[in-house]
Amino acid sequence: MAAKSQLAALDVTWRIQAAVWSFSDEQAAKGLAFADDLRALFLPPPAVASSARLQPPTLLQLLPTELLSIVLSHLDTYDLARLVATCRLLWRDAPTPPPRPMPLLRPMGPVETELRRRATARGLCIVLSLPKGALSWVPYLLNRVLCEALRREAPLAVGDHFSVFVDEGGYLQTCGCKNSDNTMEGIHVLGHAVDPDANPDDERAIGLPTLVPSMQDRRIVSVAASQWHCLALSCEGEVYSWGNGDFGSLGYFGGGAREVLNWIELLSCVESIVVGFFVVDLFFMSVAFDADGILFTWGQATDDEDEPDSSSLGYARDSQTESQLTPKWVEALSEDSVVGVALGCGFTLAVTDAGAVFSFGYGKRGALGHGLLEAEVLPRRIEALTLTGRRFVAVAAGASHALALTEEGELYGWGMGGANSHGWDEPTPQRVTALIGQPVKHVDACDCISCAVTEKGEIYTWGNSEFGQLGHGDDSAQHTPKRVEGLDGVKVATAVVCCTHT
């Protein structure tokens, strides 16, 4: 292997030398100067006292666009941000051409082009015009891509007895079996055709991830699953639903089960999808937000006898109807741009591009994060998180607890059991002390379970472990975050949990 690597290195060296030999003296001088400029961007200034300051690069604008694009494509997003912040020529948008009789497409510089490429590759839908408050495309796109890296959705989802995957080609696959209630409705979550004459008592399962036939011509970027229904988001921003829609969770009139994926026509240019299911409290709900940060909700919200006006939909529920059958805009958040959502048991969390976290619905045991307040029909900012001075980028929710993640990787929790296993419920957010010093990049929660993935690629889980879903080798409950030792040596990128498996 060592000899093979040496030969490969010699081959690369020879190719580089062959290219260098074809350069003129002027081209070679420009190349060296450009390399010095790049090196100066990332090296700290010299320790010796001097009034001389590092000058911004002067040769970047002299490079051919094709070559500069190649350089930018090989930088990770954080290094690209440092480069852009250092060089004003890269920070600004391409100059607008003078007006002409015929309109022309707006020119884009190499940095904006690269950022749009990364956004498209990650399934982000970019609006046609700058959102309110944004002054330039380059910082706006850079912020979108950086935040998305922190709150990246998993291309997989889990229900009680099935799993949904998206492979490298963007193809949708499912595996598992029907629900434990032994009804035919449970079969529809797999997205495969069902024989209407099949005996409901016959076990039907798909043992390995299998392509969903009706989605062969669609490329999927993320999925969401509950016990009875699922959503899939395509790279074009289209949302598809399937499963049991009796409570309006599929987003179309009529209800009933769908084994073939149904396109929700009222939604377009969507960026994120979330579903929730808690049968004890009659909670069957779906959520999506689009590229403008507009939040839509639909389905059956909490219908609690003690709180008849509570609703996790974000707006007052019509007392004459049990469900919101189609996606409806959460008007109370019209002044905010939503970038992340999570559903708990009868309550909803939303995080905005300004880093604020809102909650609404019926939050038992302090799940709303507003102290002892248990019900809030309209979205309300969680002041305790605002007072931390941190900017939040992601949220997660279980049955009666919630988590919020800052852009620095700090994790806060509240609700049932509290964030630090004090033995009582915590009605206001507290820092998860067990993960201090372990920056977190991804969080997820469901029922009485939580998980966090750190920047090192380690996964921590805590909560209920009746089915061994915490991965610690037993069925004992874990009250504080504990590293899953069985994944030592594996760098975890993301994870999802449900009440039976992870």
Q: What local confidence, expressed as pLDDT, does residue 134 receive?
A: 73
With beta carbons less than 8 A apart as the criterion, state whether 157 and 496 touch: yes
Residue 382: count other Cβ atoms within 10 Å of its Cβ.
24
With beta carbons less than 8 A apart as the criterion, state whether 67 and 27 touch: no
With beta carbons less than 8 A apart as the criterion, state whether 214 and 260 touch: yes
Query: Is position 387 within any domain?
Result: yes
Q: What local confidence, expressed as pLDDT, does residue 50 receive?
A: 41
Neighbour order of strands in the sheet with 172-177: 156-158, 162-166, 172-177, 205-211
Q: What local confidence, expressed as pLDDT, does residue 184 receive?
A: 41
Q: Return the structure tokens found at 421.
A: 């296993």
Neighbour order of strands in the sheet with 392-397: 392-397, 401-406, 411-415, 426-431
344 closest CA partner among 287, 402, 431, 419: 402
Query: Is position 239 within any domain?
Result: yes
Give the SS3 label for residue 56.
coil
How far, rounded to the nearest angstrom, does the alpha carbon of residue 52 sit from its chain's CA centroid? 44
Could you give the residue ranges of the DSSP H alpha helices within 74-181?
77-86, 88-91, 110-121, 137-150
Query: Is position 458 within any domain?
Result: no
CATH code of the domain containing 178: 2.130.10.30
Q: At a CB cut-off of 8 Å and minimum separation 6, what does 307 contact?
A: 362, 374, 375
What gap in Å lies between CA 201 and CA 228, rounded to an integer? 18
Three-state SS string over 229-295 comes to EEEEEECCCCEEEEEECCCCCCCCCCCCEEEEEEECCCCCCEEEEEEEEEHHHCEEEEEEEECCCCE
Cα 484–Cα 446–Cα 300 angle in degrees, nearest 5: 165
Residue 283 dihedral angles phi and psi, to the nearest 5°: -130, 105
Query: Is position 106 within any domain?
Result: no
DSSP 487: G
With beta carbons less than 8 A apart as the criterion, state whether 251 and 267 touch: yes
Query: Is position 24 within any domain?
Result: no
Query: Is position 306 within any domain?
Result: yes
Total domain count, the chain: 1
Q: What local confidence, expressed as pLDDT, does residue 95 receive?
A: 63
Cα 101–Cα 104–Cα 109 angle in degrees, nearest 5: 140
What does pTM read for this prediction? 0.69
Cα 415–Cα 420–Cα 422 angle in degrees, nearest 5: 80
What gap in Å lies between CA 347 and CA 39, rounded to an integer? 50
What gap in Å lies between CA 64 and CA 341, rounded to an integer? 42
What gap in Å lies between CA 14 and CA 489, rounded to an integer? 36
Q: Return the structure tokens found at 150.
A: 């922190």
Q: What is the CA radius of gyration of the chain?
A: 25
What gap in Å lies between CA 151 and CA 368, rounded to an integer? 21
**pLDDT, tens only, 321-333:** 667 888 999 999 9
Residue 151 dihedral angles phi and psi, to the nearest 5°: -115, 30
Q: What local confidence, expressed as pLDDT, does residue 487 receive?
A: 93
At position 177, the amino acid (one-letter code) is C
Q: What local confidence, expressed as pLDDT, does residue 356 receive?
A: 94
Q: What is the pLDDT along the chain (502 residues), one digit of tens a residue?
A: 444 444 444 454 445 555 555 667 777 677 777 767 666 665 555 444 344 444 444 456 566 777 777 778 877 777 777 777 766 666 666 666 555 554 445 677 788 888 888 877 665 667 677 776 677 888 888 877 776 654 445 578 888 788 898 887 788 999 887 654 544 444 577 887 766 666 655 556 788 888 888 888 888 888 988 878 889 988 778 899 988 877 788 887 766 667 777 889 888 888 888 887 654 445 678 999 988 889 999 887 655 555 545 578 888 766 656 678 889 999 999 999 898 899 888 899 999 988 999 999 887 888 999 988 888 889 999 999 999 999 898 999 988 899 999 988 899 999 987 777 666 788 899 999 999 999 998 899 988 899 999 988 899 999 988 889 999 999 888 889 999 999 999 988 888 888 888 8
Strand partners, 482: 461
Q: Return the structure tokens found at 81.
A: 């941000």
434 closest CA partner among 466, 403, 464, 465: 403
What gap in Å lies between CA 383 and CA 362, rounded to an integer? 18
Query: Is position 295 within any domain?
Result: yes
At position 436, the amino acid (one-letter code) is I
Q: Kind and range of the H or E element at 3? A: helix 2-21
With beta carbons less than 8 A apart as the criterion, state whether 379 and 359 touch: yes
What gap in Å lies between CA 350 and CA 359, rounded to an integer? 6
241 is in which domain, residue-wise? 156-393
Could you give the residue ranges of the DSSP H alpha helices within 403-457?
none
Query: Is position 338 within any domain?
Result: yes
Neighbour order of strands in the sheet with 220-225: 220-225, 229-234, 239-244, 257-263
Q: What local confidence, expressed as pLDDT, does residue 431 receive?
A: 94
Strand partners, 406: 392
Q: What is the DSSP string of 337-373?
A: -EEEEEE-SSEEEEEETTS-EEEEEE-GGGTTSSTT-
